[in-house]
Amino acid sequence: MDNLNFEELERIPIPEGLEERLSAKIDEWEQEEQTQKAKRHYLLPRAMRYTAIAASFALVFGVGYHYLNVEEPVNLAEQDTYKDPVKAQQEAERALNLLAANLNKGMGRLEKAKALSDKAEKTLNEQLNALK
């Protein structure tokens, strides 16, 4: 197979109508491929249409249900959670202390991760310099 002689290959007779049959078969394959693509293309929009209709019904139902079940509109801007200002201040301080503690815990973990990252980067640079 490595020593192909193209002159001998050119001497082999080509059957009558081979080119037309191959061309017709290729056209048939392309036509089948296009019809399959058309079928797939047609199915996707139908599914999307039904999904959009179902989502619209769910949205309308949800909004209607919400408005029918709301007894009294609540104005959150004017609503106080504590009547006593001292207790409100204590709760605010407690919430801020909790936030600060969690933030400090996260910063500690971040510092550990940065130290590990710096160590890995230093080792990598040493290895790259050794390769030069």
Whether 58 has a pLDDT exceeding 60, the answer reads yes
DSSP 29-76: HHHHHHHHHHHHHHHHHHHHHHHHHHHHHHHHHHHHHHHHH--S---G
Burial class (CB in 10 A: 0-12, 13-18, 19+), 103: exposed
Do you know the residue count of the chain?
Answer: 132
* Percentage with pLDDT > 70 across the chain: 83
Alpha carbon distance 75, 55 (integer Å)? 29
What is the pTM for the complete model shown? 0.31
Alpha carbon distance 52, 21 (integer Å)? 47
Question: Whole-number mean pLDDT of the chain?
Answer: 82
pLDDT of residue 77: 59
Residue 9: how many CA atoms within 13 Å on its side-chain side? 5
- Structural domain boundaries in the chain: 17-67, 84-132
Residue 128 Rama label (left phi>0; alpha psi -120 to 50; beta): alpha
Provide the pLDDT confidence category of residue 19 given band limits of 50, 70 and 90.
confident
Whether 123 has a pLDDT exceeding 70, the answer reads yes
pLDDT of residue 75: 61
